[in-house]
Amino acid sequence: MIDKKYYKRIIAWIIIIIISAILISLNIDKRIIAIVSIVIGWLTNAFLGASALIATIPVVGPIIIQLVSLPFFWLMNGIGFFSSAYAIKKGETQLALTHRLVSVVLVIGIIIGYVLAHLTYK
């Protein structure tokens, strides 16, 4: 039997699939469909449910989740690096410091949110 806390995520995925199918049938731009799907999935925590489902696969599941989540942190660090490099090139050292601080705070916030989410669903 499916646990009660997963019903919302299942319904969220059904809504995402239905909205995507409707938008595809209306010949809407694929980028708009992707953005709508990402926003709905983010607001409803559907991606957390999908990652939790993948993580339940013995041995392989946690490895897949780590392979998916690690490049995201590399991407966030890279964005912070390049925005800081751009600010330094323009001569704005205070702006560079602000860019690095914002990117570090964002990554720390994501890590804290990830840990708290896993603590509440255990």
CA distance 107 to 48: 17
Q: Exposed, middle or buried: residue 72 (CB in 10 Å: 0-12, 13-18, 19+)?
A: exposed
Contact residues for 76 (Cβ-Cβ < 8 A; gap 6+): 103, 106, 107, 110
Contact residues for 5 (Cβ-Cβ < 8 A; gap 6+): 121
Which pLDDT band holds residue 122 (cuts at 50, 70, 90)? low
CA distance 108 to 68: 18
pLDDT tens digits for range 21-79: 999 999 988 888 888 888 888 787 777 777 777 777 888 887 787 777 777 777 777 77
Yes or no: say if 35 and 71 are a contact pair by the CB < 8 Å rule: no
pTM, two decimals, is: 0.51
